[in-house]
Structure 1
Amino acid sequence: MSTAVAHRHHVLTSLPAVVGIAYSASWIAGLAVGAPAPVFADSGSDIVRELSGHSTAFTTQFLLTEGLPAVGLAVVSVALARSARSPLAARLAAVSGIAAAVISFTQFLLGVALAGTGSPDTAHLLFELVSRFDGVKMFLLAGLGVAAVLSGLLPRWLRYTAIAMAVAIVASGIGYLFLIQSLATLAYVSGPLLLVFITGTGVALSRKDR
């Protein structure tokens, strides 16, 4: 293998690990922004009032938690689909992962629109759309977790993490899809598990290809 080809191979095989780590870093940075966090019971007027004067922070948070992570989801999902030992796992990873990435980027765009609106009706509609999309995305991420378990590529501890993530994120996904605040709070459990799963899967895939 020539030096150029070897370098290209190293870059390609390292990409899932780099992107997986960046995924968690982006999310953690986004949560640290400290933007307003409306709840499902808020009216459109409440949402507009909470976001007033915080549009930059709110937009930045959506960029770091939905926009950039969409790229991470796509890269790790495609890498998992390409490496999976099971055709079923490969198809499930590709479909669920890419769909989740598309929804995540759509949420980013909706978040930008929400940060810029002064209309209570529009704010309420956009906030509801973002929340319900979150529920759908969580179900797709559960599918990605199942695909990773079926792929035969993950170490045992990461398979258990993927299973725990899938169960927890389905429960929180129900909360977001149907706007049930009590179930939505389970994201405090499923969220950290998701970060460990995506980063761990990216690293595991990079090691498998070396």
Structure 2
Amino acid sequence: MNYLASLSVDVRPGRARRYWRRPSPGLAGLVYAGSWVVGLLIFSSSAQVHPSGAQLITAYAGHRVPAALQFLFTEGVPALALMVVVWALAGAARAAGERRLALSALATGMAASIISFTQFLLGLDFTGRVIAHGDANSVASLNAAINRLDGPKMFLLAALAVTGIVLARRGRLAAPRWLSYLGAALAMSIVISGVGYLFLLSGPALAAWVSLPLLLLWVTSTGIFLARSTSNRR
């Protein structure tokens, strides 16, 4: 008998699903925070939102590779990890019968992820071609554009946090109360920092020192909570 012909494969739907599982939102949340930490350790970050082109060229001289890796770990990887958490949050809202909130989570979260990934791609161009070319005006303009994109991204993340709060308040998401408080603190602080980055205002932008740690905690905690909720339903 032909050995290959003797092999049998169970193709029943229940069996087939075991070989592919959706990415865990808990793991995605941890990757989100961990990636940010790695990115901040790779290359120093400045609190300035509108430095001159000459300052940027000097700062990035000889550090283009670490700077590019920083964009990868603070914008690229987090964008993909956030998508997983957002998809799980939208799924939980949809399962609870909250279609509008599910759509809100999906729209705001995915839009924020797309902006973040766009910043990653622009960052690669910035640390590669633009810095190498050495034109101060081009360097300053692209850096300003990348920073300004943080504004709408932060507003979208604030809306995502509010969606999570509303779900919990309506009793549709059995989340711990502290997670709602964390989401509220995130929403308020990240709107302030978003104004600073959108309009390149140094004062409000300093709120990012508060909103970023809150964001990492909220995304990670939400991802872990959603992962546990999913496993408990099975």
TM-score, length basis structure 2: 0.83
Query: Is the counterpart of residue 158 in structure 1 residue 179 in structure 2?
Result: yes
Output one character per residue of 1:143-180: Cα deviation in whole Å (capped at 9) or x when no partner: 11011112232221111101110110001000000101
Distance between the aligned counterparts of 1:42 and 1:128, measured in 2?
Answer: 8
Which of 165, 175, 193 is residue 172 of structure 1 equivalent to?
Answer: 193
Q: Which residue of 2 aligns with 1:94?
A: 106
Report the AA paired with residue 113 of structure 1. Answer: D
Distance between the aligned counterparts of 2:89 and 2:81, measured in 1?
Answer: 12
Tell me how far 1:41 sits from its aligned partner. Answer: 3.9
Secondary structure of the corresponding residue to residue 24 of structure 2: helix
Tell me how far 1:87 sits from its aligned partner. Answer: 2.0
Which of 164, 174, 180 is residue 148 of structure 1 equivalent to?
Answer: 164
Tell me how far 1:2 sits from its aligned partner. Answer: 5.4
**Bigger-Rg structure (1/2):** 2
Q: Which residue of 2 aligns with 1:201?
A: 222
Distance between the aligned counterparts of 1:18 and 1:40, measured in 2?
Answer: 32
Which of 65, 68, 76 is residue 85 of structure 2 equivalent to?
Answer: 76
Query: Is the counterpart of residue 22 in structure 1 residue 31 in structure 2?
Result: yes
Distance between the aligned counterparts of 1:56 and 1:95, measured in 2?
Answer: 33
In structure 1, the gaps of 5 or more residues are none
Secondary structure of the corresponding residue to residue 209 of structure 1: helix
Q: Is the 8 A contact 2:108 2:159 kept in 1?
A: yes
Output one character per residue of 1:44-75: Cα deviation in whole Å (capped at 9) or x when no partner: 12211211111011101110000000001111
Q: Which residue of 2 aligns with 1:129?
A: 145
Distance between the aligned counterparts of 2:204 and 2:150, measured in 1?
Answer: 13
Q: Is the 8 A contact 1:77 1:93 kept in 2?
A: yes
Q: Is the 8 A contact 1:36 1:54 kept in 2?
A: no
Q: Is the 8 A contact 1:135 1:173 kept in 2?
A: yes
Q: Is the 8 A contact 2:49 2:205 kept in 1?
A: no
Distance between the aligned counterparts of 2:184 and 2:82, measured in 1?
Answer: 18
Report the AA paired with residue 200 of structure 1. Answer: S
Distance between the aligned counterparts of 2:18 and 2:123, measured in 1?
Answer: 41
Distance between the aligned counterparts of 1:16 and 1:194, measured in 2?
Answer: 15
Report the AA paired with residue 147 of structure 2. Answer: S
Distance between the aligned counterparts of 1:18 and 1:174, measured in 2?
Answer: 31
Distance between the aligned counterparts of 2:69 and 2:18, measured in 1?
Answer: 38
Tell me how far 1:37 sits from its aligned partner. Answer: 2.9
Q: Which residue of 2 aligns with 1:105?
A: 117
